[in-house]
Amino acid sequence: MHRILNTKVFKVGPDHIEIRFIEEAVKVIRDGGLVVFPTETVYGLGADTFNRGAIVKIFEAKGRPLDNPLIIHIASTDQLEEVVDLKFVKLDVYRLMEKFWPGPLTFILPKAQHVPYEVTAGKNTVAVRMPAHPVALKLIELSRTPIAAPSANLSGKPSPTLPEHVIKDMMGRVDVILDSGETLYGVESTIIDLTRDPPILLRPGAVPVEEVEKYLQKKIVVPDFARGIAEAPEPLSPGMKYRHYAPNTPLIVLEAEDYSNLQGYVEKILEYISVLKSSGKKILVLASRETENLYRGLDANVLVLGSRKNLFEIAKNLFPILRSIDELGVDLAVVEGFEERGLGLTIMNRLRKASGYNIVKI
């Protein structure tokens, strides 16, 4: 159970940032309270990393299982030593930080002794990143402590990318919400475990793993997120095993072997839908700008995720659209698949999770 709090909502930016509102949030962090703050990926639900009581409140507010650890957010590389055991950090890790921070890339590294096990869910590693958002950076800097924060959604829901999502999920559960409008990427950070050699991708995110590989000049292991891993007995990242982003409406991902013949692909989707419709089901199709016209004439709702030529747009629209599915009063939603390159890997990971791995290859 969570306590009912009197949540204050302050508008900070994106254009004009009122420092006094951030100062109010800093007081809350210092007093062991909870602050929702914007990042360049999604909104975060933050507390003082070193205040055990405050950390426990994060799990209560989200309804998050205690075995799913949090990401620690820092505002400068000087803060790294407060959370990471620097003995084990090698030169190529610093090179990655220099290139990608501040930005949507999270590293798993050995933890510093003083990081409470409540933050790491009992692990000897920490997840750490420096967000590229002026409000987040100012909040961390003035709080003079690294801020531990998961995404600011109720557990199981898509991460919040718009202030109204944060307000819907977190009103009465946190002390302050810093509203800075829509977030830039709309999808969470990429997580790479650097405690392993070769490093391993734990969550595809806003930075394509290929870009990180190029800089590291080393292969990064990309697990097969499509199958198995969600049910693995001991997932590499605890977050992998939970159903996520899921609408109540059943969702099916219709995947192709190859997306070069879109016309042929959509014909198969239409065939698949016609079988479903014969049982009288109301259907929603999540399509792309390139294919939406091919569904004309079909008696079904069609929503456009964005253009296949602009996966950034699709990634950004994904969570708001997943959140809206249940409001449309359909019996079933089907979504087109995307090629798993660059942000396509991230998009497919979120879609498959949202569907509860309800995947059909057509």
- Which C-beta is closer to ligand TXA: that of 223 or that of 250? 223
Q: Which residues ranging from 110 to 169 are in contact with Mg ion (CB under 5 A)?
A: 151
Rounded to whole angstroms, what are the CA distances from 174 to 31, 46, 73, 280? 13, 9, 18, 44
Binding-site partner at residue 251 among ligand TXA, Mg ion, none, CB < 5 to 8 Å by type: none
Asked if 104 and 189 count as a contact pair (C-beta separation under 8 A), the reply is yes
Measured CA angle at 213 (ends 211, 217), to 5 deg: 125
- Which C-beta is closer to Mg ion: that of 62 or that of 308? 62
Token representation of residue 248: 């109540």
Rounded to whole angstroms, what are the CA distances from 14 to 7, 17, 39, 44, 169? 21, 7, 11, 16, 21
Cα(175)–Cα(181) distance, integer angstroms: 19
- Which C-beta is closer to Mg ion: that of 21 or that of 185? 185
- Which C-beta is closer to Mg ion: that of 151 or that of 190? 151
Tell me which residue of 94, 184, 74, 181 sits closest to 136, measured CA to CA.
Answer: 74
Binding-site partner at residue 335 among ligand TXA, Mg ion, none, CB < 5 to 8 Å by type: none
Rounded to whole angstroms, what are the CA distances from 149 to 37, 74, 352? 9, 11, 24
- Closest contact distance (angstroms) between CB of 298 and ligand TXA is 36
Q: How many residues bind Mg ion (CB under 5 A)?
A: 1
- Which C-beta is closer to Mg ion: that of 151 or that of 180? 151
| Residue numbers at the binding site for ligand TXA (CB under 6 A) | 39, 41-42, 44, 68-71, 104, 106, 108, 120, 123, 125-127, 131, 149-151, 188-189, 191, 202-203, 237-239
- Closest contact distance (angstroms) between CB of 19 and Mg ion is 28
**Max alpha carbon distance in the chain (Å)?**
63
DSSP 232-282: -SS-SSGGGGS--S--SS-EEEEE-S-SS-HHHHHHHHHHHHHHHHHTT--
Binding-site partner at residue 123 among Mg ion, ligand TXA, none, CB < 5 to 8 Å by type: ligand TXA
Rounded to the nearest 10°, the torsion over CA 259, 331, 161, 77 is -60
- Closest contact distance (angstroms) between CB of 42 and Mg ion is 8
- Closest contact distance (angstroms) between CB of 193 and ligand TXA is 6
- Closest contact distance (angstroms) between CB of 151 and ligand TXA is 4
Residue 260 neighbours by CB distance under 10 Å: 9
- Closest contact distance (angstroms) between CB of 96 and ligand TXA is 16
- Which C-beta is closer to ligand TXA: that of 123 or that of 308? 123
Q: Is 189 in the site for Mg ion (CB under 5 A)?
A: no
- Which C-beta is closer to ligand TXA: that of 192 or that of 251? 192
User: Where on the chain is the footprint of Mg ion (CB under 5 A)?
Assistant: 151
